[in-house]
Every structure is written in C-alpha cells, then in structure tokens.
Amino acid sequence: MDKSRLRRRSEWEWEVPRSGRMEVPGILFASEGLIEAMDDKVREQICNVASLPGIVNAAYGMPDAHWGYGFPIGGVAAFDADRGGVISAGGVGFDISCGVRTLLTPFRAEDLGQQRQVLAEALFRRVPAGVGSTSRITLDDGEMEAMLVGGARWAVGRGWGRPVDLNRIENGGQYSGADPDEVSEHAKRRQVEEMGTLGSGNHYLEVQEVTEIYDEGCASAFGLKAGGLVITIHCGSRGLGHQVATDFSKRMILAAREHGIHLADRELASVPVTSAEGQAYFGAMRAAANCALANRQILAHFVREVVREILGEGALPLLYDVSHNVCSLEEHEVDGRKRRLHVHRKGATRAFGPGHPETPADLREWGQPVLVGGTMGTASYVLAGSVSSEALAFSSACHGAGRNLSRSQATRKYRGEDVVERLRRRNIILKAQSLRGVAEEAPGAYKDVDEVVQATHEAGLARRVARLEPILCVKG
C-alpha cells in the first residue's frame, strides 16, 4: 500500500483522510510492515465503506485486512439506523457467521503417543469435509425452520451437545429475530444434508498444543495450560449462508438505486436498515447465523464422540465460540452517549473488554475470548477483549492471519503434495480431501499471524493470552 496516501496516527494506527464522498475517515490498525504489504485495494475499499450513509466514527481495517467482496475482509463499520444508516450483504460476507470454536481437553501431546495417527484418521472419517460434503443428518421442512430459529440451542435440544455449551457461545448460541421466511427455498435446499459438515476453503479442524502463555491469570480462567491440547473448529453456514448472501446482494443492488444510495462499487450493495429490504436481510442473515452456530455445535458433538472412542474422554468443555461475518445490533458509546448501532464485522471478531455484560459471567473480569485462527502449519492464538477496543473500533479485533496471495496465486506457487510433506517433517499430520485445496491454503499464502497478533495486541484491540500450534489438521 502507498503509505504517502495515509496519515500515521501512531506506531500501530493509520488514517485514510476524508476525501470525495467519504462521510468519515478510514482507520487501519497495522505495523508498518503489514501496511506496506497490503494491497492498495484495501484502502480503496475502506474509502468506499466510509462513503456509505449513516456510518459512525470511521471505517476500520484490522491488521489482517485484505481485499474482499465490497468490504475488505478484516473490515468493521457501524451504522446508525436513526440517521439513515445502511446494512450491507457485502459488509457481512458470503459465509455468514463463519467462526471459530475451541474445545478444551485434559490431554497433553505426549498423552496421544501412537494414538495420534489413529485420532487423525478417525476425525477425518467422522467429520464430513470438502466441497459439497454432506452428513448423515437430513432436515425436513419443520426441522429446517426450527434450526434457523434456534441455532445452537436447537442442536443441543436434539442431543448434539450439552446446555452448558450455550454459556460459552456468542448470544447464548442463538441470534434472536431470525426470520426463516426470508431465506429462499433454494438456500434451504442447499442445507438439507449439510448440517454437521466442515466445508472447504480455509475451514479446518485442528488439534493444537498450547505452546506459550502470555497472561497466566487469564489463561487459567480460560482453562488453558502450557503443553495442554485444545481442539479448534473453523467453519460457517455452508451453502445456506452463501445463498442468502447471493440472493440479497442482487436485491440490494436494485433497491439501493430506489433509495437514492450512491454505490462506489456494486459489490457494496446496501439499503437503509429501516427499509423493507434491510429488515428482510437482517432477519435472513440472523437465520443463516443460527445455521452456522448449529453447524459448529453438531461438529463439536462429532469430535467429542471420536475423542471418547479413541481416548476415553468426551467431556471436552467449550472455551468459546466466536463469529466473524455478522452484523450485530449493539450499544456503543459515541460522543459521550450510548447509541444503538448496526456493527458490521467482516472477517473480524467481536472483542468485548472486561466487565461487559455480554461476556460469560465466569469470564467477565478477564474479557471476552477472541479466537484467532492460523493456517495448517502456522500458529493460532487465544486473545481477550480489551477495554480500549471499545473506543478504538467498536470492540473489534482481527480474526486470523489474512491472505497475502489469492487462491489462484497460491496454486501457481505451491503444490499440495509438497505442503503435506513439509508439515509431516514438522510432525504435523494433515488429512485433506483435496490437494489443490491444500495448495490454496498453504501457510505461505497468508500473512505472518504472529505479526498480525502483535499489531492487534499493541494497538489495544485485544490482548494476547496464549499461542497454539497444530499437531494434526483436517481440511476439506
């Protein structure tokens, strides 16, 4: 990115000054190295987002920001419905409520011994993964509607998990106000056999070792110990969420013109929150988010079954489940008073600080867990929300490493077989449905997650708690 077009606010914060139609400035949180490596398209998209009606304070880019559909991935923007604020399908993304769930285990790496390969094979067999993957679960019309309304609560009610899990999921495992009637029949048909599936792309299931603790008190409260193992699931709303985004992106492009909204980019299609189209999308989006929560809940149940069969322990309490691609109605302080805002986080994580009432009571003094995913051979992180993040970016943080190569660029540079072999030499077991998919998601296709997390920590968006490294990974 051309730094001459930015104004440096601090070592970790950069301003995109207002120009043209921008209602507010843009703000990028990153080190100098991350800024230099970012595509100029990120700055362009931040400017476009900052031009939308009713935007509040600024359009933000997290340290993992990269080019996306309309909004940059790693983008955050809040809109005030009372002041003409909009809602955007592109500002949420196509994999609605894509997110990360981490399960705690009582094991250490040495406890697995020869069972490590057995566990990898069993997880690969039991957890459906890959393009078009389906599971043994089939939903009829009644169960589809119940799932779209109930989310993880529906899944627990059907025997996939325990009620205590719901305490460690955003919004208690269920987005209220979901409207299944606004989800097209085509979207529902795509999901009939996809519940409890991992999908493809950057989605994964990993057994990870806690290799470093940064905050002993917080780590202990989160249930993390140096040398301990956790299991992390990264996936979203599968075909249903993608179809909801596709359907409403088309509707919003047409409706934006009717509402007099200037779009610098058709992919930024937006409508007033209070419009019929806006309310329809909000209801459909929350239904798709419930689909993602239910999907991760079922996958966690499958994982527990496998671990119980192989290692004799299936309790595996839930550390937390966070969503990345959502628009949430939240209360935030702006200019000294509380306002209800529609906060879009696309490839960004909610990061409420200590004391926030929406953080689980037993974790409230430490702040909300923030789960940051790596990519196969790289580290992942557990962070905690910080008080300062509220004023910085509406309590938001990064969600992963962020790509630095497109998938097509990655497949030209890497071979799946070579990636698998390099990981094997590092004693990381990789089980994947597609070697092309492995090449697309090669560790070198992403930014340095350590640098991204350092920038997130130093900027005050969230603070480091623990570093995790993979010992086995299942991918589509």
Please classify residue 386 by burial: count the beta carbons closer than 10 Å to its beta carbon, then call 0-12 exposed, 13-18 middle and 19+ buried: buried
Helix segments in 13-114, DSSP class H: 32-37, 40-49, 109-112
Q: Which residues contact 265 (CB under 8 A, 6 or more apart)?
A: 45, 48, 70
Do residues 439 and 407 make contact, with C-beta atoms less than 8 angstroms apart?
A: no
CA gap 159, 326 in Å, rounded: 27
Q: Which distant-in-sequence residues (6+ apart) come within 8 Å of 195 by Cβ? A: 135, 137, 139, 147, 291, 294, 295, 298
Biggest CA pair distance of the chain: 64
Q: Are strands 349-350 and 369-372 parallel, antiparallel or unpaired?
A: unpaired
Give the DSSP letter of residue 375. -
CA dist., res. 75 & res. 286, Å (int): 19
Could you say which of 66, 203, 399, 457 is catalytic? 399
- Please give the angle made by the CA atoms of 382, 224 and 313, to the nearest 5 degrees: 120
Distance, CA of 240 to CA of 133 (rounded, Å): 13
Count CB atoms within 10 A of the CB of residue 293.
32
Both tokens of residue 125? 């067999």
User: For 126, what's the count of Cα atoms within 13 Å in the CB-facing half-sphere?
Assistant: 20
Could you give the CA distance from residue 16 to residue 25 in angstroms, rounded to a whole number?
A: 6
| Backbone φ/ψ region at 381: left (φ over 0), alpha (ψ -120 to 50), beta | beta
Q: Is 399 considered catalytic here?
A: yes
Chain length of the chain: 476
Six-digit token string for 50: 């900052």
Cβ pair 318, 156 in contact under 8 A: no
Concatenated DSSP letters of 19-46: -TT-SS-EEEE--HHHHHHS-HHHHHHH
SS3 476: coil
Strand (E) or helix (H) holding 390: helix 388-393
> Which residues carry out catalysis?
399
